[in-house]
A and B are shown apart, each in its own frame.
Chain A
Amino acid sequence: MNTHRIRTRMFDATRLSALLLIMALLAACGSVPAAPVSDGAGTANPGASTGSAIVAKHAKGELRLSAPAKRVVACSEEAADFLLALDVQPVGFCSARVEGVKAGAQYELPHFFPKEKLGAPTFLGSSLEPSLEEMVKTKPDLILMLDEADKSYEQASQIAPTMMIDASAQEYWKGTLVEVGKLVGREAKAQQFLADFERNAAAQRAKVAPVIQKTPNVMLLYSFAASDGTMVMNERWTGAQLLKQLGFTLVTPAGVTVPASGFVLISPEVVGRAETDIILVIRPKRADGSVPRYPIDDLLDSLQGVQVVYQEIDPTRGSSAPLTDTFVLEEFARLLSEPAQ
């Protein structure tokens, strides 16, 4: 009798346990995050869903999200630029240009981006080799990285859906901005940004038009450090595209062949051979904000009938991206319209 009662109770307890287990499993299924993913590269991502609502193209194929991303990690200045152009503040930020910040710290150092736009994301280390442990802690539902960090892609995509941006093509950012806009639910904002950019470019063109009538030819020179040689750029270099967009003609010294990269190291002695009206010298500022003077500057000063203009650049500024290009376009127009004034 007692044995039967005990067995009956055990049976009841087993059924109750099974019922609780089923309920727990159902509850667990119901708590899967709202932005599950899979990507076109076939990488297994946590919580992958086949019923994706958003599809965006990227360097690895297609990226699918079931809902717009809310917590986005920007793994380079350019990646952050896309987000800030869409009024999205990154939760994590990687950079090879930032110094003095440990991975995991709140990033509050001065940067090319205004603080009110960038906010205080968690710094995740170098954009080439980000700290994956710190990246996990930010609980991202989207990671943006440039193709220069290709070796980190597989690991990053285990953490969250990862968009790999191919930044090699000229004006690559225009198409990419729309794709990023889709992923963060701001496609309309992306389209608006592009329209505003074109309007702004037209306004800047009008501003420099009188200068271009008199002095249409520009030669672009660059040297990062005192030990660098002198580099000359042609229109294949991303920054030079903006000069072309303003209506200037890019020239290089006679006899210089520029390779597909868009720049070549030249002897400073041949700078005077270029049939140019303006020489635009791009030079990074030092850490203390000063702009160094190099031996070639004496040569540039001696050139007759050529306007030499220096563009001082912030070393924490990324290369071509939506906000950066907007800034550079306006700065080029400002610097190059000065000779006419």
Chain B
Amino acid sequence: MTTSIAARQAPRMIRSRSLLLLGLGLGAGLLISAILSSVALGAADIRAATVWEALFRFNGSTEHVIIRTLRVPRALAATLVGAALAVAGALMQGVTRNPLADPGILGIEAGAALGVVCAVFFFRVTSLTSYALWAFAGAALTAVTVYALGSAGRGGVTPMKLTLAGAAITAALSSLMTGVLLLNQRTLDEVRFWLAGSVAGRDLDLLMQAMPYLACGLLLALMLGRQVTTLSCGEDIARGLGQHMGLVKAQVALAIVLLAGSSVAIAGPIGFVGLVIPHVVRFIVGGDYRWILPYAALTGAIFLIGADLVARFVVRPAELPVGVMTALIGGPFFVTLIRWRLAR
């Protein structure tokens, strides 16, 4: 009998449904606190009362404009992108039974990024709002290609084959992207900061444009919690329980593409959120994806808001792209995870 890697590894610290619900409520409270902190704290020192006035009695002053046009969209962008990436990572780890799966490692982010780079190069796309469709197209094409490569040959899809296919596709797409950027100065100038991954400078229009895709992806993912839990126990068990494998995998793939594509469209490629957060969440709630997915959404959002806050202050009054901060945190986590698994 195949047992989910996640289920085997995760100590079930919280089992009671009421405790899990309480944890969700606590997480929601923490998320609201994180969003408020993100709105209240920044390079400019603005009093809490002024923040409140800017939100509810806007008068057009510079401080109010900073809150309304810079900090609020930034906090919302970090919330949405963090949640989307964490849920996409959890889905990928659950379905592929690969603890190293995340949209970055399996090439989805590289595909979305190449889609945007090609759009800028060939079609002179310049606005962030126009990036969304190209990011989706790139993400979808890459997801299909990686899955096709990972399922080719004897034994169908295995975690190792998927990881290798993802790594190979990521390397190929990254080389293509480098080639385009070397050939064309304008494209390089246009996307160089976007490629570092950042939630700064995003406006509400962009968020509203990506929101429908992201909301559909999140809803679809949350609806698939039971099926992903079954699938994470192994395909034989899932098939034995009457699960329609093809349909479930297609729905999961659609959710991943919507989530990863929209997050890349908003913030550019941000690594490690989809890798780190599902592991942390599984450690807390166990191997049931009906709980893992909502917890991942909350934790991912809180994590990215926190990383963005650190990125604002670490080189103040300059700023680091949040993608740099997540890499600084996620890189060591990734190495530790591999060493821990090898030790086992």
Contacts and interface: CB of A to CB of B under 8 A. Distances in A.
A3 interface: no
A68 interface: no
Contacts of B70: 268-269, 295-296, 299
Contacts of B203: 295
Interface in A276-309: 284, 286-287, 292, 294-296, 298-299, 301-304
A132 interface: no
B262 to A, nearest CB: 16
Contacts of B189: 224-225, 284, 315
A128 B183 CA distance: 8
For chain A, give the interface size range. 35 or more
A324 interface: no
B60 A302 contact: yes
Contacts of B65: 298-299, 301-302
Interface in B64-122: 64-66, 69-70, 73
A267 B62 contact: no
Nearest to B313: A267
Nearest to A96: B185
B186 A299 contact: no
Interface string A249-287: 000010110000000111111101100000000001011
B201 A299 contact: no
Interface residues of B, number: 38
B193 A287 contact: no
A255 B317 CA distance: 7
B61 A227 contact: no
B202 A295 contact: yes
Contacts of B185: 96-97, 126
A228 interface: yes
Contacts of A116: none
A99 interface: yes
A168 to B, nearest CB: 18
Given A227-B193, A267-B312, A292-B127, A272 B61 contact: no
Given A225-B190, A226-B128, A298 B318 contact: no
A229 interface: yes
B191 interface: yes
B318 A227 contact: no
Residue from B194, B203, B318 having most chain A Cβ neighbours under 10 A = B318
Contact of A229 (B61, B126, B182, B201): B201
Given A96-B185, A128-B182, A294-B201, A272 B62 contact: yes
Contact of B201 (A99, A227, A266, A270): A227
B47 interface: no
Contacts of A267: 42-44, 200, 312, 316-319
Contacts of A302: 60-62, 64-65
A280 to B, nearest CB: 18
Given A267-B43, A269-B70, A227 B62 contact: no
A270 B190 contact: no
Contacts of A284: 189
Interface in A225-248: 225-229
Nearest to A127: B185
A267 B183 CA distance: 30
Given A99-B184, A229-B193, A286-B126, A269 B268 contact: no
Interface string B176-197: 0000001111100111111000
B61 A225 contact: no
A194 to B, nearest CB: 29
Nearest to B122: A99
B124 interface: yes
Contacts of A299: 62, 65-66, 69-70
Interface in B121-155: 124, 126-128
A295 B186 contact: no
A96 B183 CA distance: 7
B232 interface: no
B195 to A, nearest CB: 8
Contact of A269 (B43, B126, B127, B128): B43
Nearest to B128: A226
A93 to B, nearest CB: 15
Contact of B317 (A253, A298, A303): A253
Nearest to A255: B317
B128 A227 contact: yes
A303 B66 CA distance: 11
Interface string B16-49: 0000000000000000000000000011100000
Interface in A103-156: 126, 128-129
Contacts of A126: 182-183, 185
Contact of B186 (A99, A255, A296): A99
15 contacts: A97-B185, A97-B186, A99-B184, A225-B193, A229-B319, A264-B318, A265-B319, A267-B319, A268-B70, A269-B43, A273-B317, A295-B70, A298-B65, A299-B65, A301-B65
Please give me the 6 A-B residue pairs with the lowest Cβ-Cβ distance, nearest first: A227-B194, A267-B43, A96-B185, A269-B44, A269-B43, A302-B65
